[in-house]
Structure 1
Amino acid sequence: MTTTARPDAGRNASPCLYGEEAAAVARVLEGGQYGHTEVTEEFEGRIAEFLGVRDAVAVMSGTAGLHTALLAAEVGPGHEVVVPSMTFCATVQAILAVGATPRFVDIDPATLCVTDQLVMDAVTDRTRAVMPVLFGGRAIDFSRIHKELAARDITIVEDAAHAFGSRNGVRRVGATGDLTCFSYGPIKNLTCGQGGIVIPRGHVEAATIRRIRMLGVVQSQAERAMTTSYGVEGFGLRYQMSGINAAIGLAQLDHFGKAETTRRSLWRAYRRALAGLDGVTLVDVDPDRSVPHLCQVRIPYRDEVFAQLKACGIGVGVHYPPNHLQPAFAEWTCDLPATEQVGREILTLPFHQHLTEADIGQVVTALDQALKTVGAASCARS
């Protein structure tokens, strides 16, 4: 293959800016307050309004959100957290950060998400939380098992890093779970440059998360400026979101409707282009309800096809190597046949808002050629 990809097809993911972010950051810098400020609080309020929830607590990253959410749910040493192995390692690291044990669970290979039955089969007397991953932006409906989990004092902590803007029924993700954590990293559906949000169930959890993210200090910055002391009332970390990052998020939020429309349109364009390709299975993200974050296929000869596409400048990736097979998590390795099969086959195609349908056509043509070339070589060897 000698094709050279167009620049946008050569990137697996890319931030999308709307031209107002730099001016928003400049206003914060000119104000002289760069840390957690009223801009951060404005961002929290706007996110809560957008999602239709009572409260939202901004933190410095999606991983920080998962960590603080688990702490707020009182998950700690001696507890297990049911979690899919098919996720970014940050999900598992947050569980280890609170001293709990990951109990890896398999996935539905059609969606790369857990199901309620897989979760309930994995629950034990030590389970204190379930951490479903809303893979690629697809929402998960746990309403059928929510009461049973709650009766056993098990909290659902949604890792919705991929799913900002997606819907669970008629409501946005974040409005239907126990605790929901979003990521606003550089390539997410909405970016703050870096950042995250936790959606708590109520005032107690919100207060706990706010205290943790501010090193255990309960007074606001304005309150601390008016006294000679302050109170540290518990464990905490420096996890607050800066006004600089919040300003980027506010500018992004004003244009999120465009992001929703564009990402759904691009994903459907991939679906049309991929239809009929032999050996290619498109992972379903339910674009009618989701704001897609990834476009992924399952293919044979994944490693060889990956190498060929990279060689001709196509920005493919792999999301993700299964965590239960990672050296750092070997202590909790288990048999997850669907996850392991998907882990050998999954390929992430370029997907971001700078793509055009022409780019998508080039990517799919290159994929088809690579599959045929690698398949023919494999047949010749055998």
Structure 2
Amino acid sequence: MSAFERNASPWMHGPEYAVVAEAMRIGQWGHNTATEAFEAELAAFLGVPDVVAVSSCTAALHIGLLLAGVGPGNEVIVPSQTFCATVQAILMAGAHPRFIDIDADTLCVDSAAVQAAITPSTGAVIPVLYGGRAIDLTEIKPELDRRGIAVVEDAAHAFGSRLGDKRVGATGMLTCFSFGPIKNLTCGEGGALIPRSPAEADAARTLRLLGVTQSQAARIRTTSYQVDGVGWRYHLSAVHAAIGRVQLARFADIETVRRRLWRAYARELSGLEYVALVDLDIEHTVPFNCVVRVVDERDKVFETLRDRGIGVGVHYPPNHTQPAFRQWYRPLPVTETTARQTISLPFHPAMTEHDITHVVSELRTALADLRRNSVQSARR
């Protein structure tokens, strides 16, 4: 399969296979010292005191909301333009979503939209760092703090990106990362939570391990252990951590390649009529995807590209129109228009600039064919 036939793909460097085999050979399959080493290396990379590695970003969001005190009776402000896991985490915490619209240019929420959605029931805000772009809520952060409303960042797309001179995760929020198969940094599966204090770190580690307070190292030296409350099996295995450690050591290469490919798309798409590239603030962003807005006949363009072997996708169908979440529906005109117009072009580090030239060439041809057919139909 050609690289441009896949919308996204893991990028392994080679050593990942060896470290997985070694971890399995010595029996380090579950949570172990490799997980703790990965946490320390992530903390050093991000410039934060601590990181709690977990099994997914969904798990991180669930724990983050619980740490923020979110529960039954609370609303959580969240954009509808996100993967359904974000909303599921809100429901898992016992709260419900209050969907808000996005900015048409960035596909992210802004301070004004968040502020307008606050109610007496608001327990938290989940800004989704769509495509990897960081979100600045600085101007309303004092009001959020005054009202006891936590910010739990869904940074599933944004590992490595920056807000100013700080990496996402180091800006004082409860930040949640994904290390799933196609993310900027992959563990195969996994995620991480950036706590705001040592107390939150301790609580998160207890929640991720079924409410057990002792570490594995402590448990093997005693005849018992203590369960202090409800928890989940959310820990990151040593096998997955081993993959993450290799990826993190090579992250400078990952960052460089992803930025170079995104810029190649920007050059190739420049001046293309009826198509607009969604801006990611590439100077500060390690891009997760490459999204274009097709002004007219998006579905036909999508189908034509698929038929031509181009691995396009749509990220994401709006959550406020999904059957499971429809009871919280409210009109979101920008989100709904975006859902009808956007296409995610193939984007992953296994691609070359030649692949990108081919994808845009096929997009240009598809648009021309559709325009020509439209003119011919109008003349009949």
Q: TM-score, normalised by structure 2?
A: 0.98
1:135-190 deviation digits (Å, cap 9, x = unpaired): 00000111111111010000000000000000000000000032000000000000
1:243-275 deviation digits (Å, cap 9, x = unpaired): 000000000011100011111110010000001
1:257 pairs with one of 252, 255, 258? 252
1:47 pairs with one of 27, 42, 52? 42
Shift of 1:289: 0.3
* Secondary structure in structure 1 of the residue aligned to 2:144: helix
Q: Counterpart in 2 of 1:310?
A: 306
- Residue identity in the other structure for 2:113: L
The answer to whether 1:364 aligns with 2:337 is: no
Q: Counterpart in 2 of 1:355?
A: 351
| Cα distance in 1 between the residues matched to 2:106 and 2:76 | 21
Contact map agreement 1:87 1:320 (CA 8 A) in 2: yes
* Secondary structure in structure 1 of the residue aligned to 2:292: strand
Mapping for residues 237-276 of structure 1, pairs under 5 Å = 237-276=232-271
* Secondary structure in structure 2 of the residue aligned to 1:157: strand
Give the percent of matched residue pairs that are identical in Structure 1 and Structure 2: 57
| Cα distance in 2 between the residues matched to 1:312 and 1:65 | 38
* Secondary structure in structure 2 of the residue aligned to 1:293: coil
- Residue identity in the other structure for 1:163: A
Q: Counterpart in 2 of 1:346?
A: 342
The answer to whether 1:169 aligns with 2:164 is: yes
Shift of 1:381: 3.8
* Secondary structure in structure 2 of the residue aligned to 1:348: strand
Shift of 1:318: 0.3
The answer to whether 1:375 aligns with 2:366 is: no
Q: Counterpart in 1 of 2:320?
A: 324
The answer to whether 1:156 aligns with 2:131 is: no
Runs (4+) off by over 3 Å? 378-382
- Residue identity in the other structure for 2:21: A
The answer to whether 1:193 aligns with 2:188 is: yes
Q: Counterpart in 2 of 1:63?
A: 58
| Cα distance in 2 between the residues matched to 1:222 and 1:45 | 17
| Cα distance in 1 between the residues matched to 2:377 and 2:204 | 58
| Cα distance in 2 between the residues matched to 1:46 and 1:33 | 18
| Cα distance in 1 between the residues matched to 2:289 and 2:374 | 29
Shift of 1:228: 2.1
Mapping for residues 105-254 of structure 1, pairs under 5 Å = 105-254=100-249
Q: Counterpart in 2 of 1:3?
A: none
Mapping for residues 86-105 of structure 1, pairs under 5 Å = 86-105=81-100
| Cα distance in 2 between the residues matched to 1:331 and 1:373 | 41
| Cα distance in 2 between the residues matched to 1:340 and 1:230 | 51
Shift of 1:103: 0.2
- Residue identity in the other structure for 1:155: A
The answer to whether 1:295 aligns with 2:290 is: yes
- Residue identity in the other structure for 2:47: G
| Cα distance in 2 between the residues matched to 1:263 and 1:222 | 38
- Residue identity in the other structure for 2:248: L
* Secondary structure in structure 1 of the residue aligned to 2:240: helix
| Cα distance in 1 between the residues matched to 2:40 and 2:371 | 53
| Cα distance in 2 between the residues matched to 1:284 and 1:310 | 24
| Cα distance in 2 between the residues matched to 1:157 and 1:376 | 48
| Cα distance in 2 between the residues matched to 1:64 and 1:57 | 11
Contact map agreement 1:301 1:375 (CA 8 A) in 2: no
Shift of 1:106: 0.2
| Cα distance in 1 between the residues matched to 2:350 and 2:224 | 50
Gaps of 5+ in 2: none
**CA RMSD across the alignment:** 0.9
1:315-356 deviation digits (Å, cap 9, x = unpaired): 100000110011111100111000000000010000000111
Contact map agreement 1:156 1:177 (CA 8 A) in 2: no
| Cα distance in 2 between the residues matched to 1:353 and 1:194 | 18
Gaps of 5+ in 1: 1-5
Contact map agreement 1:160 1:181 (CA 8 A) in 2: yes
1:16-38 deviation digits (Å, cap 9, x = unpaired): 01111011112211221211000
| Cα distance in 2 between the residues matched to 1:380 and 1:238 | 60
- Residue identity in the other structure for 1:203: P
* Secondary structure in structure 1 of the residue aligned to 2:37: helix
Contact map agreement 1:68 1:209 (CA 8 A) in 2: yes
* Secondary structure in structure 2 of the residue aligned to 1:67: helix
| Cα distance in 2 between the residues matched to 1:20 and 1:55 | 26
- Residue identity in the other structure for 1:29: M
- Residue identity in the other structure for 1:161: A
* Secondary structure in structure 1 of the residue aligned to 2:62: helix
1:351-377 deviation digits (Å, cap 9, x = unpaired): 000111111111001111111222333
* Secondary structure in structure 1 of the residue aligned to 2:151: strand
1:42-71 deviation digits (Å, cap 9, x = unpaired): 000000000000000000011111111111
Q: TM-score, normalised by structure 1?
A: 0.97
1:214-248 deviation digits (Å, cap 9, x = unpaired): 00000111222222221110110000000000000
